[in-house]
Chains A and B, each alone.
Chain A
Amino acid sequence: AQRVTQPEKLLSVFKGAPVELKCNYSYSGSPELFWYVQYSRQRLQLLLRHISRESIKGFTADLNKGETSFHLKKPFAQEEDSAMYYCAPLPYSGGGADGLTFGKGTHLIIQP
């Protein structure tokens, strides 16, 4: 079965500290990889996707094929980064429900 693991349910860091939200996946082949963010009482929205290789709001995500990880990082956390973050590695092949699977999410709290 395809699996997505976000090991931290809750991550609390101080403003200005580095942030790393972990995501590990177990898929055959090479999935497309996404991070979604949900600010308080808002809808989920795409934060970034691996294929675009871009930095959004200071966040980057590194694909490590050897470790099958796609951790989200930011060097200096800001209070507005407080949100729920979901990892979603979506497989290219097969599709179906496997292509709609999210991790359980990490609640990031940035303390002032």
Chain B
Amino acid sequence: NAGVTQTPKFQVLKTGQSMTLQCAQDMNHEYMSWYRQDPGMGLRLIHYSVGAGITDQGEVPNGYNVSRSTTEDFPLRLLSAAPSQTSVYFCASSRGVAGYEQYFGPGTRLTVT
């Protein structure tokens, strides 16, 4: 049982490039979410999904797209990278939203130059 996995661990992009951060979970969790972690800002929700085919925006969705074609996978796409998107990105999953523990991936450290 691998839990929540993320790839890559590190990535450097140039401004304007696009890329996809991968996230997968093997716990059959319905809920998945993406956060970015910045110094002094804590964890901010980017997008989340309550099940396959259903996604919604969080606090800071601009510049990011998501899709959820399967229960297991929840990729995050950066459409045109900007230096403001330099951050550590965490994927998380849970059985539900209210009152359920979230399980986090190891994170992806992204630098945009």
Residues of A within 8 A of B (CB): 6, 9, 32, 34, 36, 42-46, 49, 51, 86, 88, 90-97, 99-105
In the bound assembly, the distance between CA atoms of A42 and B90 in angstroms comes to 11
* A86-B42, A103-B42 known; A34-B105 Cβ under 8 A: no
Q: Is B12 an interface residue (CB 8 A)?
A: no
Residue of A nearest to B57 (CB): A97
B106 lies within 8 A of A97 (CB): no
A9 lies within 8 A of B106 (CB): no
In the bound assembly, the distance between CA atoms of A90 and B40 in angstroms comes to 21
A92 lies within 8 A of B40 (CB): no
In the bound assembly, the distance between CA atoms of A99 and B41 in angstroms comes to 18
Q: Which residues of A contact B90 (CB under 8 A)?
A: 43-44
Q: Which residues of B contact A46 (CB under 8 A)?
A: 101-102
* A43-B90, A43-B107, A44-B104 known; A102-B97 Cβ under 8 A: no
* A43-B105, A105-B43 known; A92-B98 Cβ under 8 A: yes
Residues of B within 8 A of A (CB): 4, 33, 35, 40-43, 45, 48, 50, 56-59, 90, 92, 96-102, 104-107
Q: Which residues of A contact B50 (CB under 8 A)?
A: 95
- 5 A-B pairs with CB atoms under 8 Å apart are A36-B102, A46-B102, A90-B97, A99-B97, A102-B42
8 extra interchain contacts, Cβ-Cβ under 8 A, other than A43-B105, A102-B43, A105-B42? A43-B4, A46-B101, A86-B42, A91-B98, A94-B98, A96-B97, A100-B33, A104-B41
Residue of B nearest to A104 (CB): B42
Residue of A nearest to B99 (CB): A32
Residue of B nearest to A34 (CB): B101
B98 lies within 8 A of A99 (CB): yes
Selected from A9, A49, A99, A101, the residue in CB contact (under 8 A) with B40 is A9
